[in-house]
Chains A and B, each alone.
Chain A
């Protein structure tokens, strides 16, 4: 009955099959298929293995993403507070505002502006007791705060002033000179164009009303916003730009000392303990796969005993390893990025960039170890006997 159910197709296949007696012509495609089917049929074992690979990857990568996020967050807060600002002044003298404007062209400088303060230099019209500090800055200050040009009658006010007088952008104000006014005041009414955190420019500026002035004449300071990595070179270059003289030295100082942020972020980033987590993850996963290969040596021996050639067996083991580790590392990396973004509030682009790099390194290391362990072919007879 069974024989009857086997169709003519079987007979034809059998005929072709008999022609092949006694030879081994295992195809590479068969190895790929066997490797794939072994993983799929492996069920709980490979699921558990996949989960372990993903967990190792995710844990280690998340650790580094969290560390980097801490460093970046601390540096960002430092920079927001003025950590990327240098202040240039001349001992016992003023600096030239035109030279300060020219500093904008120096490599590594994001913006530069001259700044002078006239403490209690005005009284607000209609408020005779309100002695108000005025600050005068060149246009470069707009780039520091990311503000548009305020117009000829526009002023920028500090946050504390805005809060004290309940001023909003668009509010109109006028000044009358105070007894100590050092500069001529604008006589026309002025309009509040923007509110900014002027406190990082100094104590006087924290309660100032800031007016733009052309880049000419003298100024008390030149503020230079820099790329943090160019800090040292700019500190050494700026005195020469301003014309350092023995009788009136140019002093370049940090608005906030870098030590105030708890160390140099660049070196902290480079020297962080978690920077090599991807190598560690790859090595751990590779070792794990080595154990799996050893545990499954009976299976390798079985393929060999069936006539699968050495290269075919290697390809089966590579396929199994590549599938499990590839999927596991992919899963783990995705998980790490998701967790880092959700829990630590890290920027997604930063987490993706670093996470993907870690994932690729981990996968490369792990796959290299898979490739090596896959070359190992156990002694067939011994492995088969153990299997029994």
Chain B
């Protein structure tokens, strides 16, 4: 399964210049890709286009499954954003179980799966804590567990450690890269080279243009 953005251009209303200029990216399931660039370079927009949240002005985005009928990008992607995107008044377990429920499993199964993924990111003991009582690093690990529980083949992480200190960043990244297995692709938008170093491939983006580096 591949996620493809082909010659994508994105213009936002009110902005003279396009945010993305002819960006072409291909991500295959199982790989980890960093989208590296300074603030305002178009990283988040590229992820949004890949995730189907922003419609490109020009170009196409599609999911390729061995030539067969493909789902929409929104059906195969899940998001890891910065630390506040959880249901703060719900427990860690609830937050993760919601993602599992999108697969149509029973409630019991969803909670079992959620517990397993919380264990995988080291939060099994905190599963019944309200999200608002968790630290920033713990919240981000809940978000990682949630992304994994959704079983989406493409995980889009937009500055996942942007609001964390160095020590917590290491813990969260360890959890993220350990938890993502060969059945999913991880695409991380970051301006932090240390995050990019952990990825198998880096896509550099400057002023909306993509330059592959390795």
Interface on A for B, CB 8 Å cutoff?
Answer: 2-3, 5-6, 9-10, 13-14, 16-18, 20-27, 30, 33-34, 37-38, 41-43, 298-299, 302-308, 379-381, 384-385, 387-388
Give min CB distance, A308 to chain B, whole Å.
6
Contacts of B168 in A (CB 8 A): none
Please tell me if B188 contacts chain A, counting CB pairs below 8 Å.
Answer: no
Contacts of B109 in A (CB 8 A): 13, 16-17
Please determine whether A16 and B105 come into contact, CB atoms closer than 8 angstroms: yes
Please determine whether B94 and A37 come into contact, CB atoms closer than 8 angstroms: yes
Please determine whether B81 and A14 come into contact, CB atoms closer than 8 angstroms: no
Cβ-defined partner of A388 (8 Å) among B76, B84, B103, B146: B84
Please determine whether B90 and A388 come into contact, CB atoms closer than 8 angstroms: no
Give min CB distance, B67 to chain A, whole Å.
16
In Å, the complex CA distance between A335 and B76 comes to 50
B76, closest chain A residue (CB): A22
Give min CB distance, A310 to chain B, whole Å.
10
Please tell me if B48 contacts chain A, counting CB pairs below 8 Å.
Answer: yes
Q: Interface residues of B toward A: which range?
A: 35 or more
Contacts of B125 in A (CB 8 A): 2
Please determine whether A306 and B112 come into contact, CB atoms closer than 8 angstroms: no
Some 30 contacts from A to B, beta carbons below 8 A apart, are A2-B122, A5-B119, A6-B124, A13-B113, A13-B116, A18-B183, A20-B104, A20-B151, A21-B151, A21-B153, A21-B183, A22-B1, A22-B75, A22-B76, A25-B104, A26-B104, A30-B101, A41-B90, A298-B85, A302-B86, A305-B79, A306-B99, A306-B102, A306-B146, A306-B150, A307-B99, A380-B53, A385-B44, A387-B85, A388-B81
Cβ-defined partner of A22 (8 Å) among B44, B101, B151: B151
Contacts of A24 in B (CB 8 A): 75, 102-103
B136-188 interface (Cβ within 8 A of A): 146, 149-153, 183
Decide yes or no: A302 and B85 within 8 Å by CB, A5-B124, A27-B104, A37-B90 being known contacts: yes
Contacts of A388 in B (CB 8 A): 81-85
B98, closest chain A residue (CB): A306
Please determine whether B116 and A381 come into contact, CB atoms closer than 8 angstroms: no
In Å, the complex CA distance between A307 and B76 comes to 8
B162, closest chain A residue (CB): A388
Give min CB distance, A42 to chain B, whole Å.
6
Contacts of B112 in A (CB 8 A): 9-10, 13-14
Please tell me if B115 contacts chain A, counting CB pairs below 8 Å.
Answer: yes
Give min CB distance, A215 to chain B, whole Å.
79
Please tell me if B71 contacts chain A, counting CB pairs below 8 Å.
Answer: yes
Interface on B for A, CB 8 Å cutoff?
Answer: 1, 44, 48, 51, 53-54, 71, 74-76, 78-79, 81-87, 89-90, 94, 98-105, 107-109, 112-113, 115-116, 119, 122, 124-125, 146, 149-153, 183
Decide yes or no: A20 and B105 within 8 Å by CB, A2-B119, A307-B78 being known contacts: yes
Contacts of A385 in B (CB 8 A): 44
Please determine whether B102 and A307 come into contact, CB atoms closer than 8 angstroms: yes
Please determine whether B103 and A6 come into contact, CB atoms closer than 8 angstroms: no
Please determine whether A23 and B85 come into contact, CB atoms closer than 8 angstroms: no
Please determine whether A384 and B153 come into contact, CB atoms closer than 8 angstroms: no
Please determine whether B152 and A42 come into contact, CB atoms closer than 8 angstroms: no
Please determine whether A307 and B87 come into contact, CB atoms closer than 8 angstroms: no
In Å, the complex CA distance between A30 and B108 comes to 12
In Å, the complex CA distance between A16 and B103 comes to 10
Please determine whether A307 and B105 come into contact, CB atoms closer than 8 angstroms: no
In Å, the complex CA distance between A3 and B124 comes to 10
In Å, the complex CA distance between A210 and B122 comes to 97
Contacts of B81 in A (CB 8 A): 305, 384, 388
Decide yes or no: A26 and B101 within 8 Å by CB, A20-B151, A381-B48, A387-B84 being known contacts: yes
Please determine whether A14 and B1 come into contact, CB atoms closer than 8 angstroms: no
Contacts of B94 in A (CB 8 A): 37, 41
Give min CB distance, B87 to chain A, whole Å.
7
Please determine whether B116 and A307 come into contact, CB atoms closer than 8 angstroms: no
Contacts of A9 in B (CB 8 A): 112
Cβ-defined partner of A302 (8 Å) among B54, B82, B87: B87
Please determine whether B113 and A14 come into contact, CB atoms closer than 8 angstroms: yes
Decide yes or no: A17 and B103 within 8 Å by CB, A9-B112, A34-B98, A380-B53 being known contacts: yes
Give min CB distance, B164 to chain A, whole Å.
13
B111, closest chain A residue (CB): A13
Please determine whether A308 and B102 come into contact, CB atoms closer than 8 angstroms: yes
Please determine whether B103 and A25 come into contact, CB atoms closer than 8 angstroms: yes
Residue among A25, A38, A307, A388 facing the most chain B CB atoms (10 A cut-off): A307
Contacts of A303 in B (CB 8 A): 98
In Å, the complex CA distance between A13 and B105 comes to 9
Decide yes or no: A299 and B113 within 8 Å by CB, A25-B103, A306-B98 being known contacts: no
In Å, the complex CA distance between A75 and B206 comes to 82
Cβ-defined partner of A384 (8 Å) among B75, B83, B85, B101: B85
Please determine whether B103 and A20 come into contact, CB atoms closer than 8 angstroms: yes
In Å, the complex CA distance between A306 and B102 comes to 8
